[in-house]
Amino acid sequence: MRSSNDWKAGKVGGAGVAAMLDGRRPEHIAYAPNYWQWFAHHRNHGTLPPELRGCRSQLDVIRHLGLDVFSRNIYCDEQRGWWGGLSDVVWQEVGFDEAEMFDGKDRVIERTYRTRCGALAERLRYVFAESTLIQERFLVEDYERQFGALEQVLRDRRWQFVPERFARWQREVGDDGFVVAGEVHSPLKMLHVLLGPQNTTFFLLDQPERAAVLLALHEAAQLDLIGQMVRGGVRVVMAMDNLDTAFHPPHYVGQYSASFYEKASRLCHDHGSLFFIHACGRQRANLALISSLGVDGLEGVAFPPLGDVELDEAMRLSGGRFIITGGISAAEFQRLTSRAEVFAYVRDLFARMKPFAHRFILSASCNTPYTAPWERIVDFRDAWMEMR
């Protein structure tokens, strides 16, 4: 096997991604993986492969392998949130407190929001054994009783983009690619995050007028943030929505999120930027609708067995409009157990995606699992280099 330095000698940097964002056909299929959880887990547990012991971040791993950067979590603190880091939440009237503790095995974060109508609290846990963040308590557990407090939170909450942070990270990435601002989420996703998916469904059915007020408040605040980002030089904005039709069926998207997606896309385009949505899970039923709203790309499109549409089929169903990232899911790291199997898989995938090479970035479909063997990660890199 060639060494990493041998591969780097032939590296094109982020040229393939840059061409794609400019609407040009790249010379090769770009490969911009997501090693966020994988790197964090092996760093946390002291199990990084010897050749990665000097790596401080997933950016270092990507560079060690000689790959492209197209990332919305390269700057995130994986122990504190699933997204964000380029913007701060700003409060005027709501009091906000955050307490952090260790319970002997995990990091636990409790956040309290004090309003005129009472206090709301949520709890998150960073599970050390799996290097993943979970939500143990949603902010709202009884929407009838807590509606007033929730409304005040959403009326008061604003985001302030910090352009210096973005510029610093983009300088760090340099010619290797692009920092994606994964800082926003749709009105429907907002309810999922604050109430949980089950209570969101009940709330939308029980109190549609009240729900509409909250959805509009969140949409306005998020569009304001997007405006700040694109004026601040951000090239790609991504909504962190998980467009799985189990939680975002087409009629929900049309009723609760379409306005946001359409306005966000238009705002990005007005400033020469692109708008993406994170979209793991089952996507087939949403593709035509999302495409019609002006959205430029989908991150992490899942395919069988985790999703319900093949990547080349997703391209055709969207009318060839999208830039799609994906192609390597957790399932591939489970079922492909040899270098030969990885090469055969990539060869077949690229044969199907070649007609869409100008709109496709090979990447993780959501994330690289912490259980992925380092040898398979290297095999995917080698297969890409040979067949791109």
Query: Does residue 149 share a domain with residue 123?
Result: yes
Cα dist. 193→126, 200, 253 in Å?
16, 9, 16
**C-alpha angle 27-32-38 in degrees, rounded to nearest 5:** 160
Of 121, 154, 187, the domain-final residue: 154
- Identify whether residues 98 and 70 lie together within a single domain: no
- Same domain? For 188 and 150 the reply is no
Q: pLDDT at position 6, please? A: 38
Which residues share a beta bridge with 29? none
User: Are 72 and 141 in the same domain?
Assistant: no
Domain termination residue (choose one: 154, 177, 192): 154
Do 45 and 148 share a domain, yes or no? Answer: no
Task: Please give the pLDDT value at position 13.
Answer: 54
Domain identity same for 124 and 192: no
Q: In this structure, are 276 and 377 located in the same domain?
A: yes
Of the residues 154, 176, 192, the one at which a domain ends: 154
- Can you give the pLDDT of all 388 residues of the chain as single tens digits? 333 443 343 444 578 899 999 988 898 999 999 999 999 999 999 999 999 999 999 999 999 999 999 999 999 999 999 999 999 999 999 999 999 999 989 999 999 999 999 999 999 999 999 999 999 999 999 999 999 999 999 999 999 999 999 999 999 999 999 999 999 999 999 999 999 999 999 999 999 999 999 999 999 999 999 999 999 999 999 999 989 999 999 999 999 999 999 999 999 999 999 999 999 889 999 999 999 999 999 999 989 998 999 999 999 998 888 999 999 999 999 999 999 999 999 999 999 999 998 899 999 988 899 999 999 999 999 999 999 9
128 shares its domain with 15:
no
Owning domain of residue 111: 92-154
Q: Give me Rg for the CA atoms of the chain.
A: 21
Examine the domain organization and report whether 134 and 252 are in the same domain: no
Question: Could you tell me if 161 and 113 lie in one domain?
Answer: no
CATH of the domain at 245: 3.20.20.210
Alpha-carbon span 299 to 280, nearest angstrom: 7
Count the residues in the chain.
388
Cα maximum dimension of the chain? 64
3-class secondary structure per residue, the chain: CCCHHHHHHCCCCCHHHHHHHCCCCCCCCEECCCCHHHHHHHHHCCCCCHHHCCCCCHHHHHHHHCCCEEECCCCCCCCCCCCCCCEEEECCCCEEEEEEEECCCCEEEEEEEEECCEEEEEEEEEECCCCEEEEEECCCCCHHHHHHHHHHHHHHCEEEECHHHHHHHHHHHHHHEEECEEEECCHHHHHHHHHCHHHHHHHHHHCHHHHHHHHHHHHHHHHHHHHHHHHCCCCEEEECCCCCCCCCCHHHHHHHHHHHHHHHHHHHHHCCCEEEEECCCCCHHHHHHHHHCCCCEEECCCCCCCCCCCHHHHHHHCCCCCEEEEEECHHHHHHCCCHHHHHHHHHHHHHHHHHHHHHEEEEECCCCCCCCCHHHHHHHHHHHHHHC
Do residue 340 and residue 283 come from a single domain?
Answer: yes
Residue 279 burial (CB count, 10 A): 32
> In DSSP terms, which residues pair with 161 in a beta bridge?
87
Q: What pLDDT is stored for residue 36 in this prediction?
A: 94
Structural domains of the chain, count = 2
pLDDT in the model for residue 241? 95
User: Are both 64 and 213 inside the same structural domain?
Assistant: yes
pLDDT confidence of residue 242: 87
Residue 12 confidence (pLDDT): 47
Read off the amino acid at residue 91: W
